[in-house]
Structure 1
């Protein structure tokens, strides 16, 4: 473990967090909110701690695999810790644990909240709350690499540890250039959505914060009724399209910009993702037509939005799907586990893992029928290594194991099964709202401090896809061996 480089990079990360907090301070100053002092104090603390840590001069400037995991895991805990301070200092949250829950939910793009009255909060805090989605969507450390690509040799280890999906990597030879390309695409999508929402009749401030939640697939809204408060079909269509777009692997957009548009439609994961979306919309529309909505158009409108919101783990709502029939709710619960594509801003298990698990299952069945035959699992006409399949199986097991442990702890509160089950599913999968007490019209404020901390950790574990956080508990992980 190269402790010097770990500490130095954590310092750089905190300095970056101070700078990304500045726009929220400006919003607060413009609106003369009572949160100005909270932002100033937090920014000063971040700069002091950040510069002290970044001033470390390590003899060895290499970043090894374990260093990358340590930087990412500790970094996400730190940005959530310091990101909670504006909530605490402004008095928006009554305790640090509530503030940590809200900040963790923001940066991990979960969108679960303990705040009961959103519309009465200062605009600076609401802007910060949504901007954490945008910063955390592509990854705070990827942002750091884009701004400061020379943080150390072996910076790919940081990107591997933070980027979602089983096979993250560079889309161009230089890592810093890769990070910049990702953020240029990310920024471009953001600008386009803001413009379209403004044209659809949404105020500029509202368009900005809801775009942050859409592109980052986070889901924090500035309205108590979420997107449903606007009751604007054009706004809902725009957000639905952009939610689905941000659940797609961003490397496919890079291929499209290079002129290879066919790469998107040839991608097996993309086809599975869109197939699940289309099938879910059709089934839910049929189920709620006549039961919940009397017109087919209304049923299609709301089913499309909620399917897009849940599978991309965004968490916006246009209606209280808590009141939908059991069949529709079960489909939404299943979508919570599926999630978006690898390399997207979405959470969940990811479509590529689901696809490869089914292909591995098919291979095992074929081997029973033809024991002497040799079958390989392929993705995009390329054979998948057995090591990759083993990693995916391990990930799936760990995901379910963590889910069960968290569910057992949450169930100690004695809340109903639907609430307990979906609260863990919604936080571990970075979705946001669940069902029952934590449905789209509810929140997580009624949970105990212990449950809030467990759910906060679920958010971070889910966002980092388990490995970085679990590695921290192994004593051998901290040994000074550069491997």
Structure 2
């Protein structure tokens, strides 16, 4: 049985966390004498009041169940996205009700898809809030709730299990408190270092921190209409490429690399294969762009490297309009938008580890057909994969692809062309951001019908919550007992 008061109590904590960043955004707006002060301040006060109410009137509990942890996780994301749209809607501009919701969901789910045709028209306070939603959505909201959850009777573990896939926990079976510190160390270290480097390379401090939030959260929101192309600086691109790639890898492996532990990026076979597959895509697209004289060889390598890493990491920042690229390159980029980064990172998509496990399972099945009397197992980094986990991964992949294709079909019924429908579906459920057609890397989602924006907003949430958690909670709430 799920206790409503427990859910409300912890949803209040999540609202207070959002109110903190709304207050900071309001202060930035006030310091710059902008017209967004009232919208941000009202949103901060309203969110703080809603968050404080259950802390005053609902008694604290020392124990929550796994089902309650699941409900907090799913409903926490939903209520956060609703609260996040308030300052957009009040401020106005391009933000109608559906546009405000779409932008909020896109930020929190670290998708980076936008309805804005003129990002630079936003006041700095709203730009910072927009970037803050990506920071909160990256791992910030998870960290905050885990930190304030009581340690007694496995309360933290119940929430952690509901939020993080079993596959991502394979190499790290430490206490949840240690894992929280590990994630926080990696997340904040990457943001601080990237901010310093981008500032040294010519960005303003404001732009540097906004882009660092966006990069490490693999979100893709930029403060510029032309995204990273606006800077036309290869050194800025190299720094962002590095941090996009690192942020799309298992944070436990990144932490192991930072602290010189045995389990790290270079000793993990899936991590090495992930980098190899990414590098192969860069080489193939570089050669096609050069061969078809779209760019010179140097420019082809520069643009191919950035766009492949941007999409595979689900960041979605851009240095060029990929919609004009040859079909082979577009198909490759679509594949990377489906595969995406690794489990245990801020990246979305199916995740490379699941693709890796899928092919390992296929190999096992071939061996079983050839030698029916044999006994075979699937391994990752010399660890045997439990059959239930193997089945769980296969079901996830099927559910993911069915959801993606259903969304595509729904969009085509609204008169949206096939390329835009398919790529928008892939880009939103994978939390990638840009697609092709009308939603290309330097385009936006603003021209899509309102119904399509609602559907794609739901798609982004399903992708961020990895589909199965949402369906599991729905079935749980529908149970008669």
| TM-score, normalised with respect to structure 2 | 0.95
1:398 to 1:139, Cα distance in 2 relative to 1, 3 A = farther
Distance in 2 (alpha carbons) for counterparts of 1:172 and 1:376: 21
Secondary structure class of the residue paired with 1:263: coil
TM-superposition CA deviations, 1:38-86 (whole Å, max 9, x none): 1111111111111122335458632212111111111101000000001
Distance in 2 (alpha carbons) for counterparts of 1:392 and 1:286: 34
- Larger deviation, residues 45-54 vs 312-321: 45-54
Shift of residue 6, structure 1, vs aligned partner = 1.2
Distance in 2 (alpha carbons) for counterparts of 1:334 and 1:130: 27
Is it true that 1:308 corresponds to 2:306 in the alignment? no
Secondary structure class of the residue paired with 2:284: helix
Shift of residue 261, structure 1, vs aligned partner = 5.7
Distance in 2 (alpha carbons) for counterparts of 1:208 and 1:322: 29
Is it true that 1:440 corresponds to 2:480 in the alignment? no
Contact 1:2–1:60 (CA under 8 A) maintained in structure 2: no
Q: Which residue of 2 aligns with 1:197?
A: 198
Shift of residue 210, structure 1, vs aligned partner = 0.9
Work out the number of aligned pairs and report it. Answer: 479
TM-superposition CA deviations, 1:121-151 (whole Å, max 9, x none): 11111111112111111241223323x2428
Distance in 1 (alpha carbons) for counterparts of 2:45 and 2:273: 47
- Larger deviation, residues 229-238 vs 196-205: 196-205
Shift of residue 179, structure 1, vs aligned partner = 1.6
Distance in 2 (alpha carbons) for counterparts of 1:140 and 1:268: 30
Shift of residue 227, structure 1, vs aligned partner = 0.3
- Larger deviation, residues 67-76 vs 289-298: 289-298
1:202 to 1:94, Cα distance in 2 relative to 1, 3 A = closer
Distance in 2 (alpha carbons) for counterparts of 1:281 and 1:164: 29
| TM-score, normalised with respect to structure 1 | 0.95
Distance in 2 (alpha carbons) for counterparts of 1:17 and 1:164: 25
Distance in 1 (alpha carbons) for counterparts of 2:297 and 2:310: 20
- Larger deviation, residues 80-89 vs 410-419: 410-419
Distance in 2 (alpha carbons) for counterparts of 1:172 and 1:386: 19
Secondary structure class of the residue paired with 2:119: coil
Contact 1:471–1:477 (CA under 8 A) maintained in structure 2: no
Contact 2:246–2:254 (CA under 8 A) maintained in structure 1: no
1:269-288 counterparts in 2 under 5 A?
269-288=270-289
1:402 to 1:139, Cα distance in 2 relative to 1, 3 A = farther
Q: Which residue of 2 aligns with 1:220?
A: 221
Distance in 1 (alpha carbons) for counterparts of 2:362 and 2:402: 20
Shift of residue 298, structure 1, vs aligned partner = 0.7
Contact 2:9–2:60 (CA under 8 A) maintained in structure 1: no
- Larger deviation, residues 277-286 vs 398-407: 398-407
Contact 1:163–1:464 (CA under 8 A) maintained in structure 2: no
Secondary structure class of the residue paired with 1:155: helix
- Larger deviation, residues 99-108 vs 253-262: 253-262
Distance in 2 (alpha carbons) for counterparts of 1:412 and 1:472: 29
Distance in 2 (alpha carbons) for counterparts of 1:286 and 1:224: 29
- Larger deviation, residues 446-455 vs 173-182: 173-182
Distance in 1 (alpha carbons) for counterparts of 2:447 and 2:453: 9
Distance in 1 (alpha carbons) for counterparts of 2:165 and 2:57: 30
Distance in 2 (alpha carbons) for counterparts of 1:94 and 1:454: 17
Q: Which residue of 1 aligns with 2:337?
A: 336
Distance in 2 (alpha carbons) for counterparts of 1:104 and 1:87: 12
- Larger deviation, residues 20-29 vs 302-311: 20-29
Q: Which residue of 2 aligns with 1:462?
A: 463
Give structure 2 stretches of 5+ with no counterpart: none
